[in-house]
């Protein structure tokens, strides 16, 4: 009984999505920016996350515990607070108001989570299985062993970085100096202007992008795994 109550509490906020239907969908600069950022940040996160986790698990180095702390600590620094500092720092090198600057700070907020997720997943898979992959050339190692084994965690990394990127308003507004529109910044403008249908259209985009990426990635992975398994016969 209590489980049904919990299920209801999880689902009920989604009712808000159907209160007013978005009138017309317009394909504009904000949506393109958002999709470009989501895809590039997710790709870099998977690459750097898995690579760093690999180093943390398999390399003997006296710097290891330091690196572990460095990857762990940023989770405990309030994003907005360190963002004020990065704002001053990036202003010195002229990255305020540029696409590169915004991309960089979006990467800063997502990477610690990705390294953590990749590390935990590879720790569970275990050293013996991953060590056998070392005989392959790098590309084959990634394609035939790492990605199929890490399927679920790659999906989780992409999901986490997508959702975090889509949540950032202040970061994009401050570092982008208001020059780089995304769906999130549009949502705040529409909200301030009391434009419910515009705001709701943006909310729809924000909710459906992570779902589409998650399902799409799952599909691509299962096709790839079937192809790889076909090589065994």
Partner 1 sequence: MSRSSLWLSLVVLALPFTGVTFLIYETVGFNWSELNDEAWRASLAVTLYVTLTSTLLSLMIGTWLARTIYMKRSSWLASLLKWPMFVPHVAAAYLFYLLFSGGFPVYGLFEANERNHLVVILTYVWKEVPFVFLMVVGTYGQLNHGYLDMAKTLQLKPLEQFRVAEWPFLVKPLLDSFWVLVAFISFAYEVPALLGVTFPELLGVLAYERLTTGLFLNAFESYAVALIWTLFIFTGVVASYALTAKQRRRIERGMRR
* Residues between 137 and 196 with contacts to partner 1, criterion CB under 8 A: 138, 159, 163-164, 166-170, 174, 184, 187-188, 191, 196
Task: Return the residues of window 74-93 that contact partner 1 according to CB under 8 A.
Answer: 74-89
End-to-end alpha-carbon separation of the chain, Å? Answer: 49
Binding mask 12-51 for partner 1 (x = CB under 8 A): xxxxxx-x---------------------------xx-xx
38 in Cβ contact with 166 (< 8 Å): yes
Residue among 39, 67, 145, 225 that touches partner 1 (CB under 8 A):
67
182 in Cβ contact with 33 (< 8 Å): yes
Q: Copy the structure tokens of residue 31.
A: 């949506």
206 in Cβ contact with 184 (< 8 Å): yes
The answer to the question of residue 136 lying near partner 1 (CB under 8 A) is no
Task: Return the residues of window 209-228 that contact partner 1 according to CB under 8 A.
Answer: 210-211, 214
Residue among 25, 32, 58, 152 that touches partner 1 (CB under 8 A):
58
Overall size of the chain counted in residues: 233
Q: Copy the structure tokens of residue 157.
A: 């990394």
Residues whose CB is less than 8 angstroms from the CB of residue 20 and which lie 6 or more positions away in sequence, other chains included: 196, 197, 200
Nearer to partner 1, 23 or 167 (CB): 167
- Half-sphere exposure of residue 7, counting CA atoms within 13 Å on the CB side? 4
# residues near partner 1 by CB under 8 A: 74
Instruction: Provide, rounded to whole angstroms, the least separation between the CB of residue 230 and partner 1.
Output: 26
Q: Copy the structure tokens of residue 82.
A: 């360190």
Nearer to partner 1, 100 or 233 (CB): 100
The answer to the question of residue 10 lying near partner 1 (CB under 8 A) is yes
């Amino acid at each position: 009984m209590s489980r049904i109550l919990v299920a209801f509490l999880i689902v009920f906020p989604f009712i808000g999505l159907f209160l007013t239907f978005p009138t017309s969908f317009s394909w504009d600069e904000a949506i393109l920016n958002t999709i470009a950022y989501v895809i590039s940040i997710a790709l870099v996160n998977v690459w750097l996350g898995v690579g760093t986790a690999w180093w943390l698990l398999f390399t003997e180095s006296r710097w290891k515990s330091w690196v572990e702390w460095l990857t762990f600590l940023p989770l405990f620094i309030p994003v907005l607070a360190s963002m004020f500092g990065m704002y001053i720092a990036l202003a010195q090198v002229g990255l305020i108001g540029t696409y590169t600057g915004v991309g960089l700070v979006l990467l800063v907020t997502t990477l610690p989570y990705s390294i953590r997720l990749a590390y935990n997943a590879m720790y569970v898979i275990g050293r013996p299985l991953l060590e056998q992959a070392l005989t392959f050339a790098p590309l084959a190692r990634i394609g035939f062993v790492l990605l199929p084994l890490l399927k679920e965690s790659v999906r989780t990394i992409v999901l986490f970085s997508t959702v975090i990127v889509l949540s950032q308003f202040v970061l994009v507004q401050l570092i982008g100096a208001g020059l780089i529109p995304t769906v999130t910044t549009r949502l705040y403008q529409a909200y301030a202007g009391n434009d419910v249908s515009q705001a709701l259209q943006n909310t729809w985009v924000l909710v459906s992008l992570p779902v589409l990426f998650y399902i799409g990635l799952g599909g691509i992975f299962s096709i790839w795994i079937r192809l790889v398994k076909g090589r065994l016969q």
